[in-house]
Amino acid sequence: MAKELLKGGEFLIRDQAIEQIFTPEEYTEEQTMVRQMASDFFEKEVMARAHEIEKQEPGLTPSLLGRAGELGLLSTAIPAVYGGMEQDVITGCIICEEAGRTGSFATSFVCQIGIGTLPILYFGTEEQRKKYMPGLASGALKASYCLTEPTSGSDALGAKTTATLSEDGKEWILNGQKMWITNAGFADIYTVFAKIDGKDFTGFIVEKGTPGLTLGAEEDKMGIKGSSTRQVFFENCRIPVENLLGERGKGHKIAFNILNIGRYKLGATALGGAREVFNASVKYANERQQFNTPIGQFGAIQYKISEMAIKIFALEVATYRCAQDIGEQEQVFKAAGKDLSDSLLGAAEEYAIECAIVKIFGSEVLDYCVDENVQIHGGMGFSEELGVARAYRDSRIARIYEGTNEINRMLAVSQLLKNAMSGKLDIMSAAVAVSKELTAMPNLSTPEGSFGIEEKALKNAKKAILLVAGAAAQKLMAKLKDEQEIIMNVADMLIDVYVAESLLARVKKIYNTKGEAEAGVYVDILKVFFNDAVQRIAYNGREALMGFGEGDELSMMLVGLKRYTKYPTLNTKEARRRIARKALETNSYSF
């Protein structure tokens, strides 16, 4: 059956058949082999030197990036004509996931393959690509990305760095300051954003050693201490006129579209980090004894282990579902005659909502896991001896870079409303249908099938979002963009629905393949997630409605919300214990 790709955000108003949703059980043999190769490299050559990386031993991270380049790990997105491996999107995600286990090095690595390399690949001229891409692919050249400034973080277009054309028209003269620049200390190539004559936001390529380019000292950071982070200064920094990147005044196209790619890859990186600390938690829970009993036998610890497993399992499928959709949309664009950059960037832009969801969910799953890892380790978790504290510190940045989670929540909802207003998605008709349904008698029939309850709960959860978002848009109209609390509530509802639908597809496939007995623990994961997600959706929906509703209208909407956020009672304690026991028995993440 040919796959019918949903448009970005369309998951809210259309159900997608499980066959159409990619799940991690469908990796190809080649993808599995790439994972093993990447895992071996990161574990044996990077993680084995974690303490040296943390201390920023001179030359170590650049040399490891060079080694990664030799193995082809830096070039999966780069076409063969420029020295790359030209692999599919899923393969690139797998490598990011494995890199995510390494903490600080993951930041350096993902910067190199993402924001460091992709702007030139997708927006550079053919001459620029030929000049820089082979070195970036092999790791001979290291890359950095200079966007943030002291006065412009989330508001990237508020940059103060300027570019002025020299009198002879042969050079651009850059003046300004950038901060929080990853890989700055050892980069050979800097992608820099500046305003031409203080107006046109534009990208430029600046090479290491250019007169007028200087670096600040290494930042003393809370986490990712092993990554290089410096300020970058430009004082009458002259670069050739041909080093303008992309179109004049179109730097925002580079900055924002590259971030979409970075967001779903950050979800994959967070997944790898979460798996790593999960394994550390389980092993310690099996080894550490109190009252002559391994602490993993205690219910409080089993709760933590099961909750980590549930979140990681759900994050895994949501991340790879998003990646596969982007990859397939890229192929559609290529078949239609679009070039390399327009195809992938257009595909990532199409799924900007899903990219934001994966970034938010991934970074918050990672934060949960590193926190509980510290708690399970107790005093040893607070010590620097085992690396538990390092993982805790390293994770925190994930909720900040690639756009803060607050910015990404607002982006997801605003893009959804934009798609609705443009007619790309017929969300308003769906919202009107839901509002009319509230006056009809509810369907009290018992759902059929092994997953009928979850299918109904998912459909109703989508209706809950349409009820809340539709009412908010109708009542507040243009003012909605200023009601950030309401937007945050709707975004959290969207995240739960996208992840729940992805998880349902994954568990149904496992059930259909392995049978009821072997799929038991996965059904437990599904049901506990749905139980909790429905409660969260009810809470966020109520919070949003209370923020703008009033009188009888509010009362009716609250009744409707209650109708759409029901899930049968579930003994979550026993389900969680079964999930935890599987992990404890295998002494690892084995789902």
Domain topology for 24-142 = Butyryl-Coa Dehydrogenase, subunit A; domain 1 (1.10.540)
**What is the location of CATH 2.40.110.10 in the chain?**
144-245
Token pair belonging to 478: 């243009």
Q: What is the CATH number of domain 426-586?
A: 1.20.140.10
Residue with tokens 């443009």: 422
Which architecture, in CATH terms, is 251-404?
Up-down Bundle (1.20)
- Find, among 267, 294, 471, 432, the residue nearest to 358 by Cα: 267
- Give the Cα separation of 6 and 140 in Å (integer): 40
Q: How many CB atoms lie within 10 A of CB 338?
A: 16
SS (H, E, C) 172-188: EEEEEEEEEEECCCCCC
Of the candidates 276, 349, 372, 402, the residue annotated as catalytic is 402
Walk along the chain (591 residues) and give the pLDDT tens digit of each residue. 456 789 999 999 998 888 899 999 999 999 999 999 999 999 999 999 999 999 999 999 999 999 999 999 999 999 999 999 989 999 999 999 999 999 999 999 999 999 999 999 999 999 999 999 999 999 999 999 999 999 887 777 888 999 999 999 999 999 999 999 999 999 999 999 999 998 999 999 999 999 999 999 999 999 999 999 999 999 999 999 999 999 999 999 998 888 889 999 999 999 999 999 999 999 999 999 999 999 999 999 999 999 999 999 999 999 999 999 999 999 999 999 998 888 988 999 999 999 999 999 999 999 999 999 999 999 999 999 899 999 999 999 999 988 999 999 999 999 999 999 999 999 989 999 998 888 887 777 778 889 999 999 999 999 999 999 999 999 998 899 999 999 999 999 999 999 999 999 999 999 999 999 999 999 999 999 999 999 999 999 999 999 999 999 999 999 999 999 999 999 999 999 999 999 999 999 999
Active site residue 218: no
Task: Determine the distance from the C-alpha atom of residue 577 to the mean position of all C-alpha atoms in its chain, rounded to a whole number.
Answer: 29
pTM for this model (two decimals): 0.96
Q: Is 313 exposed, middle or buried (0-12, 13-18, 19+ CB in 10 A)?
A: buried
What are the residue ranges of CATH 1.10.540.10 in the chain?
24-142
Q: From residue 349, how far is each of 116, 358, 424, 501 by CA, in Å?
A: 19, 14, 14, 21
For residues 204 and 212, give the distance between their C-alpha atoms in angstroms, rounded to a whole number.
15
Query: In this structure, what are the phi and psi dihedrals at residue 177, rounded to the nearest 5 degrees?
Result: -145, 135
The CATH 1.20.140.10 portion of the chain extends over: 251-404, 426-586
442: left (phi over 0), alpha (psi -120 to 50) or beta: beta
528 neighbors 306 (Cβ within 8 angstroms): yes
CB 233 within 8 A of CB 210: no
Q: What distance in Å separates the CA atoms of residue 379 and residue 258, rounded to the nearest whole number?
A: 41
Classify domain 144-245 at the CATH superfamily level. Answer: Butyryl-CoA Dehydrogenase, subunit A, domain 2 (2.40.110.10)
SS3 478: helix
